[in-house]
């Protein structure tokens, strides 16, 4: 392990998370974690944290600690205390959008950052609320036709055309995208990562 190596190993194939690391000018490589994503029987905040920790541990082992920094995150969409995962098909996507229409829901992201040099795992969670507009049938038909529902928790992508459906949010935009930037930045600083040298030259 090279202790001067600031590369972050990211346990996620999510293009949104990659985009956020690029935006921060952080050097990184992607190593998607292969874990059992069954939700632990915990509060939503503890569950996303636990899954993030599992993912980070999984890529540490897989990566044989060739690098120092390992990052994982898990994001959950909740309405009426019920979790909306990724829709199985367009029928379920339509049902999800109908359930979100005209109402407020919650998005929670847990982060885990492992420092393989100090053998320290740091975690945190961030929560946001999202108010969907009252959607017409045309809105829903249109949005389904964009295909963005596919692979998206809650069947929408706020950072793409999905924001057309959103009245407002309260929280952090990047949390809803899957990696809350302010929380991540403060975890990096507390872990001793040279975040004040970003973007890495």
Name the residues that contact a second copy, by CB under 8 A.
23-25, 128, 133, 138, 141-142, 146, 158-161, 163-174, 181-182, 185, 195-196, 198-199
34: annotated active-site residue: no
Residue 160 to residue 179: CA distance in whole angstroms: 15
Q: Cβ closer to a second copy: 102 or 199?
A: 199
Sign of the dihedral through C-alpha 154, 159, 165, 167: positive
Q: State the greatest distance between any 2 C-alpha atoms of the chain, in Å, as a whole number.
A: 55
Candidates 36, 41, 74, 80; catalytic one: 74
Bridge partner residues of 28 (DSSP): 8
Least Å from the CB of residue 44 to a second copy: 18
65 burial type by CB count under 10 A (0-12 exposed, 13-18 middle, 19+ buried): middle
Question: Distance (Å, rounded) from C-alpha 46 to C-alpha 30?
Answer: 25
Q: Are 8 and 195 within 8 A, CB to CB?
A: no
Of 92 and 142, nearer to a second copy (C-beta) is 142
**Residues involved in catalysis:** 74
């Amino acid at each position: 392990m090279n202790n001067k190596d600031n590369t972050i190993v990211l346990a996620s194939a999510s293009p949104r998370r990659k985009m956020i690391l690029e935006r921060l000018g952080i050097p990184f490589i992607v190593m998607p974690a292969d874990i059992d994503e069954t939700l632990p029987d915990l509060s939503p905040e503890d569950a996303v944290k636990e899954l993030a920790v599992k993912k980070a541990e999984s890529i540490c082992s897989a990566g044989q600690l060739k690098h120092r920094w390992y990052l994982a995150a898990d994001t959950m969409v909740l309405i009426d205390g019920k979790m909306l995962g990724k829709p199985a098909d367009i029928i379920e996507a339509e049902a999800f959008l109908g359930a979100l229409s005209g109402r407020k829901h919650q998005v929670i992201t847990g982060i885990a950052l492992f420092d393989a040099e100090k053998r320290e795992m740091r975690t945190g969670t961030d929560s946001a609320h999202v108010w969907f507009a009252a959607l017409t049938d045309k809105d829903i038909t249109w949005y389904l036709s964009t295909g963005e529902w596919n692979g998206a928790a809650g069947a929408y992508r706020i950072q793409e055309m999905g924001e057309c459906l959103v009245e407002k949010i309260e929280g952090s935009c990047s949390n809803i995208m899957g990696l809350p930037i302010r929380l991540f930045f403060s975890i990096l600083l507390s872990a001793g990562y040279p975040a004040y040298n970003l973007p890495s030259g």
